[in-house]
Each structure stands twice: as structure tokens, then as C-alpha cells.
Structure 1
Amino acid sequence: MKKNLSNTSAALMAVSGVLLVVSIFLPWWGMKFYAPQYQEGLDIIVYPTTLDGDIDIVNGLNHYIGMAEFSNASFPELVFMPYIIGGFAVLVLIGAVLRNKKVLTGLIGLYVALGALGIWDMYRWLKTFGTDLDPKAPIELEPFVPPLIGENTIANFVTNSAFSYGAYLLAVVFLLLVIPLWKDRKL
């Protein structure tokens, strides 16, 4: 097979594969809840393997509006996500060894598709949790969809959602995969 990516491009691909693995250990997304009684804010922090933060307190409060409880068991993706990330990292490292533009182009397409699927999945869960409220809850609210990014007000809570370090690292991985196509465009 013709190797048509430079050594530098192969190195960038290898670095991107390593960074993918590193991202498994970093938070990808989070939501912070502010209210008069929680001025310091309550956190939900989402890693690709687990939920962290003030989950128990948030679940206790969500009970009043009839929202289902958050837990690792609520999100089966957390079980297999590290395998998907690790598997893709291995594919990127194999692509770095092969140094083939077509392989790299396929990896970029797969990366974009997986990223789009991940964002859709996050939105789907936010919609499910915000619209599937128990009608017998003590506080009746209109169904809502918390934003993936940005601010939202629910009763006396203001929520801020944002991507976190791991997601920023995923953006760097994308750039490190695209740069070799641009850099070696004339090879």
C-alpha cells in the first residue's frame, strides 16, 4: 500500500489517538444548577464512563418536579463508551502506521458521524428526562428540554450547560486528524 502521508502527519495522527484515550478520564459535559438556596451551585459532571457531582442532591430536588433519577444505570452508553473510544483510538493508530489518505479520510468521516451520534444521544436523554415528568409530582411544571449548551431557567433554578475539558480535547483530536489532509494535500 502506498504510504502517502508524511512522517509529521503520521505523528499527528498518533498523537490524536493517544489524546482520545486521555479524554476517557476527563469530563466531557456538565450542568450547573443555581438557586437562592444553592448559590454556590450544584453540579452534574458527565465523563464518558460515569456521572459525578451532586447527583444525590439533584435527584432529591428533581423528585419534586417528577423527573426520573440520574444514575450511571440510567445511561447504558457509559458502559461501552470507553470501548468505542479505545477502539477508535486503535483505528487511528493503525491509520498512522498505514499513512494512507483514504484511510485517514474514512477515519475523519467516522469521527464526525460518531460525534454527531453522541450529540444526538445527549439531546435525546435531556429531552427524555425533561419531558417525561411524573404527573403526580408535588410541583407541576410544563415539560422542558434542558439545553446542551447555554442557560435555562426551571422554577427558581438557573441551569448552565457546557462542554468540558474532555470535549475540548475531542476538538483537538479532530484538528489533528484534519491537519494531515491539508498539510499533505499535494502528495
Structure 2
Amino acid sequence: MPRTSDAEKRALRAELRERRRNLTPTEQDKAGAGILQNLQSLVTALGARSVSCYLSTATEPNTRPFIDWALGASIRVLFPISREDGLLDWTAGEQDIEKAGLWGIPEAVGDLLGPSAINDVDLMIVPACAVDVQGTRLGWGRGYFDKTLGSLENRPPVYAVVFDNEVLPKVPKEAHDQPVNGVVTPGRILDF
């Protein structure tokens, strides 16, 4: 029998996944422009010269314009690569191409730098399903980012990216869930 928070997480993920599927192209484009502007502001405010960022899927807030901007501004970008052992590897994506990774999620192609490469970034930008106002991040259920965040030696600021209506009063939390320092939405940057 699944624990209550497991069932709550699954139900909330299903609801939010459906909401994302129902966004119109116009709503997605408008959200993408806001995400770009707010991520640029965050990186500038932190003076970050090296960041980690994921390649967004079609239903996630679009991180690709931000990645293009960061690379054009000579900011080093590390991309996560899912491993079968549940850890994340990292690449700088030197080949400028992507492929479907272990779970069908887009991943950059390039030399693998190892899980510890993330210790050298100034800012981590992570995906999320939702974030609550206490900084609890609800991921998509595989635990990759929670394991990574829990193992960092010198944890940089970590910001999740979600749509405006995915910042919630409370999300289900379990002992292994790692908090984030803030959230970036199309409409705002919220620090915890």
C-alpha cells in the first residue's frame, strides 16, 4: 500500500501534467518570454559565470532561449545526464546536439564530466512539477535532483522553474525531498 504522501504526489503530478498539456501555444510563448527575462535577471544578480540547466520538454517552461542567451554571454552551462544508478552525470554539450536520454527526456550530447562536476557551478536551475512557498520542490518522481542536491559538497543557489500557477501553498513532502533556494516563474522570481 503506498504511503499517503506518495499517493498525494502522484495525484498532484497528474493534475499539473494535464494543466501543462492544455496550455495554448500563445500561453507557452508568453511564459517562455517571462522565464527568459527572469532567468537572465537571476543570473545577472548573482553574477553567475557557470550554471547548470536542463533542456526543457515540450510541456515544461521553455529553458532553451535562456540557454542560448547564457552561452552567447560566455556563461558555462552544464546539462544533466540521467544514469541508470539514479545519479546525474553532467556535460557541457560541446556537440551542440541533443538526444532522448534514459527516460525519453531531452539531454545534451557531449563529454561526460562525472557527477562531481556540478560542485563547480554558481547556480543550479532545476525542473519541477510544483514548488511551495516554503521551498519544497515536487519533482517528477525519479529522485535524480534530490539525490544530487543531497550530495553536494558546496551547494550553490538552487532555483526551480515552474509556471506561475505551480507555486502552491504546500506540496507533499518526504524525508528525502531537498528544498530549493527559490523559484523562477514567467511572472516573478521568488526567494526562500
TM-score grouping bracket, smaller chain normalisation: under 0.3
As a proportion of its length, which structure holds more strand? 2
TM-score (norm 1): 0.28
Higher relative contact order structure (alpha carbons within 8 Å, sequence separation ≥ 6): 1
User: TM-score, structure 2 length as denominator?
Assistant: 0.27
Q: Which protein is bigger by CA-based radius of gyration?
A: 1
Normalized per residue, the structure richer in helix is 1
